[in-house]
Amino acid sequence: AQSVAQPEDQVNVAEGNPLTVKCTYSVSGNPYLFWYVQYPNRGLQFLLKYITGDNLVKGSYGFEAEFNKSQTSFHLKKPSALVSDSALYFCAVSPNNNAGNMLTFGGGTRLMVKP
């Protein structure tokens, strides 16, 4: 069975500072890893994904994530946070197979960026 852990329920950061939202996973084989963001009363919006290749993945709105196989982590980062980045962030994993590839999500991390 696959699982995702987001150890922080909330991350607080000042505008202009770098941010990190942590994610660790457990899955058999080589995983597909995703980050989604959810704004209030909205669905999930895709940010970025790791499939294969470079461990550093760049995505929308200046976000990036680093795949670390030895630590089974896929932390989301941004060099300079904006107030508008405040939202709920979900890490997700999909198994590398053809049996549906449904996403397993972490519990979510609320990012609060203060001016």
Query: Does residue number 36 form part of the binding site for other proteins (CB under 8 A)?
Result: yes
Residues 64-93 that bind other proteins (CB under 8 A): 90
Please name the residue ranges forming H helices in 1-115: none
- Contact 111/21 with Cβ under 8 angstroms? yes
Please, what sign has the CA dihedral across residues 60, 83, 108, 73? positive
Question: Hey, what are 62's tokens?
Answer: 């200046």
| Number of residues binding to other proteins, judged by CB under 8 A | 26
Distance in angstroms (rounded) separating the CA atoms of residues 94 and 106: 12
- Contact 16/80 with Cβ under 8 angstroms? yes
User: Which of residues 81 and 94 has its CB atom nearest to other proteins in the complex?
Assistant: 94
User: Which of residues 79 and 107 has its CB atom nearest to other proteins in the complex?
Assistant: 107
Interface segment toward other proteins; rule CB under 8 A; list 11-19, 28-36, 66-74, 78-86: 28-36
Exactly one of 10, 26, 28, 45 binds other proteins (CB under 8 A); which one? 45
Contact residues toward other proteins (CB under 8 A) are 32, 34, 36, 42-46, 49, 51, 90, 94-108
